[in-house]
Amino acid sequence: MNRIRYYCKNVQKNVSFKNLTSIKIGGKAKYVTFPNSESELKNLIAYLNKRKIKYYVLGNGSNTLACDGKYKGVIIKLSSFNSLYCHKNFIHAGAGCTLANLIKFAITNSLAGLEEASGIPGTVGGAVKMNAGAFNFEMAKVVRGVYVLREDNIVYLKNKECKFGYRSSGFLDGDIIISADFKLSGGDQKELLKRQQEVFGLRKSLPKYPSLGSVFKRQNGIIVSKLLDEMKFKGVTFGGAMVSKEHAGIIVNVGDATSEDVKDLINYIKKRCFLEKNIILEEEIKFLDN
């Protein structure tokens, strides 16, 4: 603990993942660190790599299912990397900035392109890494470039170099997104606010219970939520985990669900889809294991 604090001053111990993830599931993280600068982050990563201590960069935890037991590695939160700068039609945003704040900043500056992402939870770093999207929008459409910590150096990757795919990107294992540049277009603030409210309206049917959003990736033109609805998965429950009654593609925590409850339910869904429809589902969410 003292050694980690030498490299990162802000450290918390034994933090529950129920307070770190949107689905409110999981055991405890032995250490949660909050680097305040690029140099502090570099020094922390160098120390962890040297000591072969595993670590995981966690944003808002809106697509991460944490383990039930204690995670003995180090959780890194980039909450302090939340700067926002605007120049003409470009916005530079820190990885720890929430998407909500980025969108609000864009609309305040009469810049269009991000309002379609309204309501998507998470941070800039996480959204860029997984190429988050909804309603025919994805981050790849507006990302100009990304600053990444790679092997003790900050490198700048242009959009094409990020190798964006459907809910995926080509960042290397070990890459840590520091910030991103967004190329937007001029817009009328009133019209942007109007469109934002329309997008919020489209999301009203989403479940109110804690969740990680859509569990499975869309593939081969198949809308997974529609498929699961047709297969009568809504309301199917394993322990405290249930397939949402509002959206069949989302698993919610209706009680004191465990990570294993969610995994069992996911495996049940995948098995039935394979056996009955010959479809292999792929998870969109991330798993943080011990």
Q: Tell me how far CA of residue 98 lies from CA of 47, 144, 238, in angstroms.
A: 28, 18, 32
Tokens of 80: 């302090």
Q: Which of 70, 67, 101 is nearest to 84 (CA)?
A: 101
CA 82/CA 97 separation, integer angstroms = 4
Residue with tokens 């309501």: 119
Q: Write the CB contacts of 197 (distance below 8 Å, at least 6 apart in sequence).
A: none
Which residue out of 116, 118, 167, 179 is catalytically annotated? Answer: 167
User: Of 115, 116, 138, 284, which is the active-site residue?
Assistant: 284
Active site residue 230: no
Q: Is position 282 annotated as part of the catalytic site?
A: no
Q: Which two tokens stand for residue 116?
A: 């379609």
276 belongs to the catalytic site? no
Beta strand ranges found along the chain (DSSP E): 11-16, 28-33, 55-57, 64-66, 71-76, 84-87, 90-94, 111-112, 133-134, 137-138, 143-150, 153-158, 176-183, 185-186, 211-214, 237-238, 241-243, 250-253, 286-288
From the list 62, 214, 225, 259, the catalytic residue is: 214
Buried b (16+ CB within 10 A) or exposed e, 108-132: ebbbbbbbbbbbbbbbbbbbbbbbb
Catalytic residues: 167, 214, 284
